[in-house]
Amino acid sequence: MTLAKPLPAAARPRRRGRTAPYLFVLPALLLFAAFKLYPIGWSFLLSLHRTTGGTETFVGLDNYARLIDDPLLWTALRNTLVILAVQVPLMLALATGLAVALDSRLLKGRPLFRLGFFLPMVTGLVAYGIVFSVLLNKDYGLVNWLLGHVGADPVPWLTDGTWARISLGLALTWHYTGYNAVILLARLQTVPRELYDAAAVDGAGALTAFRHVTLPGLRPALLLTTVLSTIGTLQLFDEPTVLTGGGPDNATLTLGMYLYRNAFTYFDFGYASAVAYALTLLIGLLGLLQFRLLGGKQ
Partner 1 sequence: MAPRDRNDADRTHPTAAARPARRDLLRMGGGALAATGLALTGCSGTGADGGGGEKGDPEKGRITVWSWQGPAAELKALVPDFNKTHPGIQVTVEDIGNPAIWEKITAGLAAGGQGLADVLHIGVDYLPGYVERFPGGLADLAPLGATAYRDSFAAGLWGTVSPDGKRVNALPWEANSAGFYYRADLFEEAGVDAEALQTWDETIEAGKVLKAKTGAHLLGLDKPASQPDAANFFQMLLQLQGTFYFDRDGRITLASPEAVKAMTLIKTMNDAGLVSDLSGGWNALMSSLEKGTNAVVPWPTWFGGIIEEQVPGEAGKWRVRLPPAVRRGGPTAATVNSTHLAVAGSSRHQAAAWSFVEHVLTRPASQVRIYRGKGIAPALMEAYDDSVFHEPSAFFGGQKKGEVFLAALKAPSPPVNYTADYSRALKLVTDAQTKVLLKGADPAAVLRDAAAELARQTGRKAAE
What is the x/- site pattern for partner 1, positions 204-243, by CB under 8 A?
----------------------------------------
CB 174 within 8 A of CB 180: no
Candidate list 249, 284, 288, 293; residue touching partner 1; CB under 8 A: 249
With respect to partner 1, which residue has the nearer C-beta, 185 or 222? 185
| SS3 state of residue 78 | helix
What is the x/- site pattern for partner 1, positions 1-30, by CB under 8 A?
-----------------------x--xx-x
Termini Cα distance of the chain? 39
The answer to whether residue 273 forms part of the interface with partner 1 (CB under 8 A) is: no
The residues near 28 (Cβ < 8 Å, ≥ 6 apart) are none
The answer to whether residue 245 forms part of the interface with partner 1 (CB under 8 A) is: yes
Name which of residues 25 to 44 contact partner 1 (CB under 8 A). 27-28, 30-31
3-state helix, strand, coil in the chain (%, to 5): 75, 5, 25
Nearest 5°: CA angle at 249, between 245 and 255? 60
With respect to partner 1, which residue has the nearer C-beta, 202 or 249? 249
Fill in the amino acid letter for 124: G
The answer to whether residue 193 forms part of the interface with partner 1 (CB under 8 A) is: yes
- Alpha helical stretches, state H, 70-160: 71-103, 110-122, 125-135, 142-149
> Contact positions toward partner 1, by CB under 8 A?
24, 27-28, 30-31, 51, 53-54, 71, 103, 105, 110, 133-134, 137-141, 158-160, 164, 189, 191, 193, 196, 244-245, 247-250, 261, 264-267, 269
